[in-house]
């Protein structure tokens, strides 16, 4: 469980990113690539390649999904062991969280993409003359769109990345419009990361997604500077908060489902359990910020549509 939690929190960690969406300018490809190098690498002494790199190694599942979605798949020669989507991704035993620099270098990459959680990796690869793009976890949807376009610029797939970014924006905006918020009250939810009751507050990327629908995150009540967006709740607290919806992002790792949740002491009385609103998410989709964000948001909309929250609960502004 410790390994699961460390990997999950690293993947979801909140890292500030500019909130603006990528612009559709006529800036030259070379200029865009240089801009990417300046804004997304840390302590990098090796510039990103111009044109199309042909030996890309991805050490980020989110970046891997993005690469294949923007038609850069043929340029990818290796991905880390957690990059299990799409099926055609060349999965290896490379670790994104305990990386072996020598093992990465053996692939002779002309670009390595990481999620930026390992602060020393870029510097070590740079010493070997290998350029690194750190595609850090975005803060919100705007950051997702921006990152897609940055990866497109760095890999020479600007047009495809722009097309994907625009398509996602249009689809997500349309999806949000399909949801009618309750006339009174707010839908209260509990987002479960593992079966020791770690959760993600509104300060995290996934919490920001829920905020698009005006939902109330019960984890916000206990989140503070020490928990950094990922507080560990207690079963008693969750029962007392009585959420309208429970979202499980631990179905694969921890084999949790509606039945196991209902069997927990006292949980059968929670509104979400009684009304059949314990929603099993795909763990991978729930912890990534790539092109499948739309799938996660669609699941959320389906889960909260028709929920009638308690209108007597007063929320702090």
Cα 126 from chain centre: 26
The pLDDT value given to residue 45: 57
The pLDDT value given to residue 316: 65
Task: For residues 225 and 256, give the distance between their C-alpha atoms in angstroms, rounded to a whole number.
Answer: 29
The pLDDT value given to residue 58: 98
Q: CATH number of the domain at 300, please.
A: 3.40.50.1980
198 and 62 both lie in a single domain: no
157 and 201 both lie in a single domain: no
The pLDDT value given to residue 1: 45
> Residue 100: what are its φ and ψ, rounded to 5°?
-105, 105
The pLDDT value given to residue 186: 92
Q: Could you tell me the strand order of the sheet in which 245-248 lies?
A: 216-217, 188-192, 245-248, 278-280
226 and 249 both lie in a single domain: yes
79 and 214 both lie in a single domain: no
258 and 115 both lie in a single domain: no
Run of H or E residues at 292: none
Q: Is 121 helix (H, G, I), strand (E, B) or coil?
A: helix
Among 140, 155, 173, identify where a domain stops.
173
Run of H or E residues at 141: helix 141-155
Within a domain: residue 312?
Answer: no
Among 125, 155, 173, identify where a domain stops.
173
Within a domain: residue 309?
Answer: no
> pLDDT tens digits, the chain, 317 residues: what are they?
444 444 454 444 433 333 333 433 334 444 444 444 444 444 445 677 777 999 999 999 999 999 999 999 999 999 999 999 999 999 999 998 899 999 999 999 999 999 998 878 999 999 999 999 999 989 899 999 999 999 999 999 999 999 999 999 999 999 999 998 887 889 999 999 999 999 999 999 999 999 999 999 999 999 998 998 999 999 999 999 999 999 999 999 999 999 999 999 999 999 999 999 999 999 999 989 999 999 999 999 999 999 988 888 877 64
166 and 228 both lie in a single domain: no
146 and 233 both lie in a single domain: no
Give the range of the structural domain holding residue 272, as residue numbers without chain letter. Answer: 182-304
Q: How many domains does the chain have?
A: 2
268 and 168 both lie in a single domain: no
pTM of the model: 0.83
66 and 115 both lie in a single domain: yes
Q: How buried is residue 188: exposed, middle or buried, by Cβ count under 10 Å (0-12/13-18/19+)?
A: buried
The pLDDT value given to residue 21: 35
24 and 144 both lie in a single domain: yes
152 and 187 both lie in a single domain: no
Within a domain: residue 317?
Answer: no
Q: Could you tell me the strand order of the sheet in which 111-114 lies?
A: 76-79, 56-58, 111-114, 132-134
Within a domain: residue 107?
Answer: yes
Within a domain: residue 314?
Answer: no
Q: How buried is residue 311: exposed, middle or buried, by Cβ count under 10 Å (0-12/13-18/19+)?
A: exposed
137 and 213 both lie in a single domain: no
Among 138, 173, 208, identify where a domain stops.
173
């Amino acid at each position: 469980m410790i390994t699961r939690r460390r990997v999950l929190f690293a993947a979801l960690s909140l890292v500030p990113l500019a909130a603006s969406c990528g612009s559709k300018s006529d800036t030259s490809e070379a200029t865009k690539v240089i801009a990417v190098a300046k804004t997304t690498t840390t302590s990098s002494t090796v510039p990103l390649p111009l044109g199309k790199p042909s030996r890309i190694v991805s050490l980020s599942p989110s970046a891997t999904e993005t690469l294949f979605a923007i038609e850069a798949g043929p340029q990818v020669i290796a991905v880390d062991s957690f990059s299990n989507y799409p099926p055609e991704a060349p999965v290896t035993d490379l670790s994104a969280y305990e990386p072996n620099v020598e093992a990465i270098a053996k692939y002779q990459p002309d670009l390595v993409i990481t999620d930026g959680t390992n602060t020393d990796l870029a510097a070590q690869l740079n010493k070997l003359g290998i350029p690194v793009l750190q595609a850090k976890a975005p803060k919100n949807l705007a950051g997702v769109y921006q990152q897609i376009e940055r990866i497109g610029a760095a890999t020479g797939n600007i047009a495809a990345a722009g097309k994907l970014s625009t398509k996602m924006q249009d689809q997500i905006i349309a999806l949000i419009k399909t949801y009618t918020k309750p006339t009174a009250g707010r839908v209260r939810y509990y987002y479960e990361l593992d079966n020791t009751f770690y959760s993600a507050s509104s300060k995290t990327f996934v919490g920001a997604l829920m905020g698009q629908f005006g939902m109330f995150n019960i984890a916000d009540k206990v989140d503070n500077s020490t928990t950094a967006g990922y507080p560990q709740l207690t079963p008693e607290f969750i029962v007392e908060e009585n959420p309208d919806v429970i979202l499980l992002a631990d179905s694969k790792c921890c084999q949790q489902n509606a039945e196991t949740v209902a069997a927990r002491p006292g949980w059968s009385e929670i509104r979400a359990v009684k009304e059949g609103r314990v929603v099993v998410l795909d763990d991978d989709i729930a912890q990534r910020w790539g092109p499948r964000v739309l799938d996660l948001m669609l699941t959320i909309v389906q889960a909260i549509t028709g929920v009638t929250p308690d209108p007597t609960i007063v929320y702090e502004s």
